[in-house]
Structure 1
């Protein structure tokens, strides 16, 4: 499952994939700039010529991150038109999920907190729970319904050598020049250099 912002108009010439972790403050910084400023400006200047894809980069040293990404994947399946908006809301509140803030929280506590955030962007938490709940019973270690999607991102990231968050991929190649500290102007200048004018 890929969450690209589909655009209309001329053929897409630049494809940018963002590998992001909801628990990573640098991912948050990059996402905030791209979502709030870069995408609107690029789309206004070059409509339909740049696509953006959000890829889930779960970092195992923040184990609660898997739950956040599972929930976001379920949002992408259930309400794909709200995925980017939900991601913005989740990044805005990500400090609520940092290690120190969740040390005493259970999986169900985290899902409840995610439900509050989902409700603010008009996502039905009860429908998402059907995909992310782990049902009690005979131990089978199956995980939630979204686990196959999460495994896909982990395998894809490993296969493509994605190790850190955030990582940007431009037209299929890891682009190590892109930084979470980039300004809107730096992003736009970089993209302009990739476009056929």
Structure 2
């Protein structure tokens, strides 16, 4: 599947030139997305696809963004991840994992009485808290706020809106509707479940990997 060069950090596991691709579409306020991110990507796929793993150099995982607009804060969490990636690309996935860990704070009810600015400030604080060991600085937090704050026109979005549009358009043209959705080499793999563990993923890869 195609990937814009500016979003190369979406490859979160495996080598970028690996011949097989797992596209996994995730929403930060979706509990099933959190389940597959932690229990699938981190616990199972990372050991299998990383250096020394059985499928090292054969399969890569692209963590795609899938905004679910019926959750009010979904937009803001996705903007936040894109802002972090703009500042520090290698922090995209660590911040994504932090968003999943704290996702309940961004559910509909907890954010009901918060303004967009307040939600964005919470997301900035989460970046500072979760990425401190990765070299995140006060200057980075200031830049983050600037990237997610409307500054140009009355209706022009924020600095990462074009990146957000790309991810949404990509999902739409590929008929992605739910999160998580998994594609194997560009084809929807309906059999994949967010609850899969090592056994299921290992059996899946054993059947699918042909190189």
Normalised to the residue count of structure 2, the TM-score between the two structures is 0.85
2:131 alignment partner in structure 1: 121
Asked if 1:33 is matched to 2:39, the reply is yes
Please state if 1:15 is matched with 2:21. Answer: yes
Q: Please tell me the root mean square deviation across aligned C-alpha atoms, in Å.
A: 1.9
Say whether residues 1:149 and 2:186 are aligned partners: no
Give, in whole Å, the separation in 1 of the partners of 2:179 and 2:15. 29
CA contact (8 A) 1:13 1:196 kept: no
CA distances 1:77-134 after superposition (whole Å, capped 9, x unpaired): 2211111111111100000000011000111111121122211213332221221111
Question: SS at the partner of 1:99?
Answer: coil
1:116 alignment partner, SS class = helix
CA-to-aligned-CA distance 1:23-59 (integer Å, 9 cap, x gap): 1111111111123212322122221211111111001
Note if contact 1:4-1:52 (Cα within 8 Å) is conserved in structure 2. Answer: yes
User: After the TM superposition, which residues 32-181 of structure 1 pair with which residues of structure 2 at under 5 Å, given as runs?
Assistant: 32-43=38-49, 44-119=53-128, 120-122=130-132, 123=136, 124-135=140-151, 140-181=154-195
Mapped partners of 1:187, 1:145: distance in 2? 38
**Do the aligned partners of 1:13 and 1:50 also contact (CA within 8 Å) in 2?**
yes
Q: Gaps spanning 5+ residues in structure 1: where? A: none
* Most deviating of 124-133 and 101-110: 124-133
Q: Give the Cα–Cα distance (whole angstroms) in 2 for the partners of residues 145 and 8 of structure 1.
A: 29
| Number of residues of Structure 1 aligned to a counterpart in Structure 2 | 194
Kindly indicate whether the alpha-carbon contact (under 8 Å) linking 2:44 and 2:198 is maintained by their aligned counterparts in 1.
yes
Per the TM alignment, residue 8 of structure 1 is displaced from its structure 2 partner at its CA by 4.7
Deviation (angstroms), 1:188: 2.1
Pair 1:188 & 2:202 matched: yes
Unaligned 5+ segments in structure 2 are 1-6
For the 8 Å contact 1:13–1:195, the answer to whether it is kept is: no
Q: 3-state DSSP class of the match of 2:123?
A: helix
